[in-house]
């Protein structure tokens, strides 16, 4: 079912009230029932991504899955994306890449991350995703409250920039995620065992020490905590910062 931009905020409020304590599978089933082919999943194929991807494979294996291939990802992430997609039978994966013209004019030497991490994320993540999501009314993220910061108040369903966003794992902690991975024998991202609990692009991702925040290795040493795809960009919109995609 298609909803116009006037209807979507009301739909988000209603669904969040209905689903705020629901199991992630129930949230996903409701999302698919409500939005059908106008719904997409955005996944980083990162440290915790297998859980949500496995759930989608059980409900709608042909759902469009947006994967941001920034050109700066770890080789292990690219290998994991191929292996996990094949294992789960996901047939709707779309590899989103930065536009050649944006790279040529803004980051021709591929070193923008050294001087402007926000600018680098903008051309490699924000712009490609914004363009890809124009054909959808709603999308699904893998953000969770236990990642802390502004994510602690993350709703299960929200409205942002004219679209409805589902955060099915908002209520889950590490114990639930680990339990689900074990129950369904899901392979972990290979970098997790090397101390990377949150994985982004290689120049801006470091391993973390035991006891540190899950996202302490992302843009370490700077005030930046977020790539920008979950920050509202519409005029007068309320910013909603997120964690892993």
Instruction: Point out the residues that are catalytic.
Output: 227
- CA–CA gap between residue 120 and residue 2 (Å, rounded): 34
CA of residue 153 relative to chain centroid, distance? 17
Written as one string, the DSSP assignment of 171-182 is: T--HHHHHHHHH
Which residues sit opposite 158 in a β-bridge? 165
Check: CB of residue 27 under 8 Å from CB of residue 230.
no
Residue found by looking up tokens 């910013």 in the block? 239
Provide the Cα torsion 233, 117, 193, 151; round to 10°.
-30
Check: CB of residue 160 under 8 Å from CB of residue 240.
yes
Residue found by looking up tokens 């013209």 in the block? 101
8-state DSSP, 125: I
């Amino acid at each position: 079912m298609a909803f116009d931009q006037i209807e979507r905020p009301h739909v988000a409020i209603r669904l969040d009230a209905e689903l705020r304590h629901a199991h992630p599978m129930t949230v996903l089933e409701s999302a698919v029932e409500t939005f059908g082919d106008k719904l997409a999943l955005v996944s980083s194929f990162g440290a915790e991504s297998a859980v949500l991807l496995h759930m989608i494979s059980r409900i709608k294996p042909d759902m469009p899955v947006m994967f941001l291939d920034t050109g700066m990802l770890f080789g292990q992430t690219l290998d994991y994306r191929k292996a996990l997609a094949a294992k789960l039978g996901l047939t709707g994966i779309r590899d989103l890449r930065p536009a050649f013209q944006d790279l040529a004019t803004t980051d021709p030497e591929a070193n923008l991350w050294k001087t402007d991490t926000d600018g680098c994320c903008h051309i490699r993540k924000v712009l490609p995703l914004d363009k890809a999501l124009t054909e959808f009314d709603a999308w699904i993220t893998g953000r969770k409250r236990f990642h802390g910061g502004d994510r602690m108040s993350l709703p299960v369903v929200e409205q942002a920039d004219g679209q409805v966003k589902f955060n099915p794992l908002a209520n889950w902690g590490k114990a639930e995620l680990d339990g689900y991975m074990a129950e369904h024998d899901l392979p972990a991202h290979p970098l997790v065992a090397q101390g990377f609990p949150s994985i982004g692009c290689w120049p801006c991702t470091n391993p973390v020490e035991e006891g540190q925040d899950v996202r302490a290795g992302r843009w370490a040493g700077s005030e930046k905590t977020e790539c920008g795809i979950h920050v509202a960009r519409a005029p007068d919109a309320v910013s909603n910062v997120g964690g892993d995609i």
